[in-house]
Amino acid sequence: MVKGRTHVKMDIKANVRPFYRQFDADALKQALKRMYLIRRFEEGAEEAYMRGLIHGTMHLSIGQEASAVGATMALRPSDFITSTHRGHGHCIGKGADPKLMFAEFFGKEEGYCRGRGGSMHIADVEGGNLGANGIVGGGLPIAVGAALSLKKQKRDNVVICFFGDGATNEGAFHEALNMAAIWKLPVIFVCENNKYGMSVSTERSMAVPNVADRASAYGMNGVIVDGNAVADVAEAVLSAAADARAVKGPTLIECKTYRTRGHSRSDRNRYRTKEEIEEWKSRDPIPLFEADLLTHGIATPDEIAAIRAEAEAEIAAGIEFARNGTDPDPADVTRDVYSPGYAA
């Protein structure tokens, strides 16, 4: 040892943000793949709709992939979610199989709900997805009920409740947050604020600038994150989940994000400008996360290209699987509607 000089062993990882210490390289690459799967699933569904292969409407979350993946990757497999009418990303983030989702879209028996639910009502209870919901704010009381059940059973699980900014003006939002706060339930409220409830901007529909500002009325933490940054979302959910498991009560997380498609297939986007849409496209969460993985040396360009190709192939196979699926028997139209033995 040289006199007068102190040898210090540097922990390089200690200087890396918590997100990159919490998850290993495989988990981070899997997160990127799920973002690709969400994007290509929705693009594939949109293409199938335009070709007349899927009927009805759908609500796409293109541009919001970081919120869905960042939140769900911070959960344990045994945790739960409730979703929304714009919930394809939540389903895939929680581990749903795209081919079974496509089968549901195509109205096939192989779908998660045997083709009865379609785009807005996919559920996979065994996988922890308690269901998407066509009612705005409809998942909020379901999530609170599930969290109450978990607490009563003394289980170490949490529930994420996804909803949009429009849902925060529904009575169910306020009732759910109030009850969850009073009973310190293990639920994390994740608001994906994409600036518009259908065509009404948050500036016109709220008296406060942020959804998270409403958390203080219920004595819970309110957190605002960049909803297009996977790391920001995941770190916020990890912190909220730790509080929930420690019986410190719920958290309201507001993910500031944006949908680059319309509210639904019938939306002509007359309430926002092309310039606004293009500006948000420049903040696309997928290239941003790719750049992060490259910067941190987690993935190489070739690895990223391979992950993208793998996702593309999985989506193509999923569409083909759905097209060749089993059509429902008209004689079973009341199955799963009425209890067995009930005479309709």
Secondary structure, 3-state, the chain: CCCCCCCCCCCHHHHCCHHHHHCCHHHHHHHHHHHHHHHHHHHHHHHHHHCCCCCCCCCCCCCCHHHHHHHHHCCCCCCEEECCCCCHHHHHHCCCCHHHHHHHHCCCCCCCCCCCCCCCCCCEHHHCECCCCCCCCCHHHHHHHHHHHHHHCCCCCCEEEEEEHHHHHCHHHHHHHHHHHHCCCCEEEEEEECCEECCEEHHHHCCCCCHHHHHHHHCCEEEEEECCCHHHHHHHHHHHHHHHHCCCCCEEEEEECCCCCCCCCCCCCCCCCHHHHHHHHCCCHHHHHHHHHHHCCCCCHHHHHHHHHHHHHHHHHHHHHHHCCCCCCHHHCCCCCCCCCCCC
Q: So what's the pLDDT on residue 335?
A: 84
Q: What's the CA gap between 142 and 159, in Å, rounded?
A: 10
Q: What length does the chain have?
A: 344
Q: What's the CA gap between 300 and 294, in Å, rounded?
A: 6
Q: So what's the pLDDT on residue 263?
A: 86
Q: Is 331 within a domain?
A: no
pTM for the predicted model, two decimal places: 0.92
Q: Is 10 within a domain?
A: no
Other beta carbons less than 10 A from residue 87's beta carbon: 30
Q: Is 214 within a domain?
A: yes
Query: Distance between the two ends of the chain, CA-based, in angstroms?
Result: 88
The token pair at 110 is 């192989």
Q: Is 4 within a domain?
A: no
Q: So what's the pLDDT on residue 199?
A: 85
Domain residues for the domain of 237 are 27-325
Q: What's the CA gap between 139 and 131, in Å, rounded?
A: 8
Residue 189 identity: F
Q: Is 65 within a domain?
A: yes
Q: Is 21 within a domain?
A: no
Other beta carbons less than 10 A from residue 280's beta carbon: 18
Q: Is 127 within a domain?
A: yes
Q: So what's the pLDDT on residue 14?
A: 55
Q: Is 99 within a domain?
A: yes
Q: So what's the pLDDT on residue 311?
A: 98
The CATH number for 300's domain is 3.40.50.970
Q: How many structural domains is the chain composed of?
A: 1
Q: Note down pLDDT in tens along the chain; length 344 residues.
A: 334 444 444 344 556 788 999 999 999 999 999 999 999 999 999 999 989 888 888 899 999 999 999 999 999 999 999 999 999 999 999 999 999 999 999 999 999 999 999 999 999 999 999 999 999 999 999 999 999 999 999 999 999 999 999 999 999 999 999 999 999 999 999 999 999 888 888 888 899 999 999 999 999 999 999 999 999 999 999 999 999 999 999 999 999 999 998 888 778 888 999 999 999 899 999 999 999 999 999 999 999 999 999 999 999 999 999 999 999 999 988 888 887 776 55
